């Protein structure tokens, strides 16, 4: 007896050719794995669960989990989740590898073009940025950022978009990136701006799971704090081992140049009155610059995903100044109580370590 197609299967079939043509094979594979969400309801009794294959059992578990997600968001269609959570992958049309720096600009750039299609016209516009990723990612391989791309011109007659390839202000780094960038790689564009937040949440969850498995007690701090309950805690996790406790702040690499960490914090308004009369809470919560304070957290845990493509990879550093401890981090030049927000992040350089255990006992 044929079963009725589920909404998930219908969404997959409706977009499958576009996903294949766009190189978004990884998304196609993901959605394919969810097809049993409701299809199994229309099937004839296939016998006990012991007779089902492990693959079918796994598909059913995935389907149940996806069903929970779908229910939370008003039964949004599966393709809506794909559009929001999975950045669009667009094939490159041409690459001009000549490196230039225009008058009045601080960055070096090369150039590229992509085709304007019915599937990407709604998001490809002047100013839109994205990341170049390997074509293998579109076929189910590992994610890795090669360089960044920015749309700077639209040619509606030729149905193409012209963009610049960049990695920061360093010419040698751009030359290096161009050496890795292939003509058949892909431009990845986050259509709705959700991917970065989702990635941040996944990295924090990964760290929590790793630390828990290593025997630490971990507590996630609240995203906000009501005034009558105290001051906002400017760090992400409270991690304990026996009687020892550490405040851990999770950060990412600097997207423009993944050699560097991005140790940033939102600025806050200056409290009223003479600073000498401020309370300790007013002092601790005043951020005149967008750099983290040394005293806010004990340990930085920087996700290396933008460099490695591995959500489970982190680098750890103690939040102390380098002029106080040899393993410390550089100070901000203008605000010495704050850390330099873009320090080199390289495990093994004396400051960054591959495990929280390596920095736990550092003072």
Q: What are phi and psi of 112, to 5 degrees?
A: -150, 165
In which order are the strands placed within the sheet that holds 186-189?
Answer: 88-91, 186-189, 129-133, 147-155, 160-166, 109-115, 94-100
Which residue spans of the chain are classified as CATH 2.40.30?
Answer: 88-189
CATH fold label, 88-189 = Elongation Factor Tu (Ef-tu); domain 3 (2.40.30)
Query: Which part of the chain is CATH 3.40.1350?
Result: 195-360
Strands 244-253 and 299-303: parallel
CATH architecture of 195-360: 3-Layer(aba) Sandwich (3.40)
Cα–Cα dist 123/237, whole Å: 36
pLDDT, residue 43, reads 45
The C-alpha atoms of residue 351 and residue 326 are separated, in whole angstroms, by: 8
What's the gap between Cα 335 and its chain centre?
28
pLDDT at 31: 52
Tell me the average confidence (pLDDT) per consecutive run of 10 residues in the chain, 363 residues long.
46 42 43 47 47 75 86 88 90 96 92 96 95 92 90 95 90 92 96 90 96 96 80 88 96 88 92 90 88 95 92 97 97 96 96 97 91
CA 240 – CA 220 distance, rounded (Å) = 12
Yes or no: say if 188 and 92 are a contact pair by the CB < 8 Å rule: no
Residue 256 CB neighbours (<10 A): 16
Q: Which two tokens stand for residue 342?
A: 């873009």
The angle subtended at Cα 197 by Cα 191 and Cα 200, nearest 5°, is 135
> Which pLDDT score, from 0 to 100, does residue 22 have?
39
Q: Which of 211, 220, 203, 208 is nearest to 304 (CA)?
A: 203
Return contacts of 148-154, CB within 8 angstroms, 24+ apart: 148/255, 148/256, 149/112, 149/187, 151/124, 151/125, 151/126, 151/127, 152/126, 153/126, 154/116, 154/124, 154/125, 154/126
Alpha-carbon distance 296 to 321, whole Å?
A: 13
With 0.85 as the threshold, say if the pTM is over it: no
Q: Are 211 and 236 in contact (CB under 8 A)?
A: no
Cβ contact 303:250 at 8 Å: yes
The separation between CA 337 and the C-alpha centre of its own chain, rounded to angstroms, equals 28
């Amino acid at each position: 007896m044929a079963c009725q197609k589920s909404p998930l299967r219908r969404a997959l079939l409706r977009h499958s050719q576009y996903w294949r043509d766009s190189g978004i094979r990884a998304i196609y594979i993901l959605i394919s794995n969810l097809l049993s969400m409701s299809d199994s309801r229309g099937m004839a009794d296939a016998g006990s669960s012991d007779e089902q294959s492990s693959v079918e059992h796994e598909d059913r578990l995935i389907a149940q989990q996806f069903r929970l997600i779908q229910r939370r968001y008003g039964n949004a269609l599966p393709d809506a989740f794909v559009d929001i959570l999975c950045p669009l992958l667009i094939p490159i049309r041409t690459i001009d590898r000549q490196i230039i720096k225009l008058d009045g600009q601080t960055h070096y750039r090369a150039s590229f073009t992509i085709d304007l299609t019915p599937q990407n016209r709604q998001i490809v516009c002047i100013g839109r940025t994205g990341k170049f990723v390997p074509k293998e990612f579109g076929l189910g391989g590992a994610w890795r950022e090669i360089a960044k791309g920015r749309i700077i011109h639209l040619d509606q007659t030729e149905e193409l978009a012209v963009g610049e390839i960049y990695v920061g202000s360093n010419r040698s780094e751009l030359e290096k990136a161009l050496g890795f960038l292939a003509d058949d790689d892909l431009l990845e564009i986050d259509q709705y701006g959700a991917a970065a937040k989702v990635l941040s949440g996944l990295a924090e969850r990964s760290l929590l799971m790793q630390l828990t498995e290593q025997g630490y007690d971990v507590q996630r701090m609240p995203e906000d704090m009501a005034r009558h309950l105290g001051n906002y805690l400017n760090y992400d996790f409270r991690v304990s081992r026996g009687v020892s406790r550490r405040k851990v702040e999770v950060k990412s690499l600097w997207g423009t140049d993944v050699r560097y960490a991005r140790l940033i914090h939102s600025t806050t308004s200056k409290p009223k009155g003479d600073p000498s009369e401020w309370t300790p809470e007013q002092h601790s919560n005043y951020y005149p610059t967008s750099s983290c304070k040394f005293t806010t957290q004990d340990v930085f845990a920087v996700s290396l995903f933008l460099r490695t493509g591995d959500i489970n990879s982190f680098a750890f550093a103690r939040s102390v100044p380098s002029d106080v401890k040899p393993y410390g981090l550089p100070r901000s030049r203008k605000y010495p109580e704050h850390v330099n927000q873009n320090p080199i992040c390289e495990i093994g350089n004396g400051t960054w370590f591959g495990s929280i255990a390596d920095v736990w006992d550092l003072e």
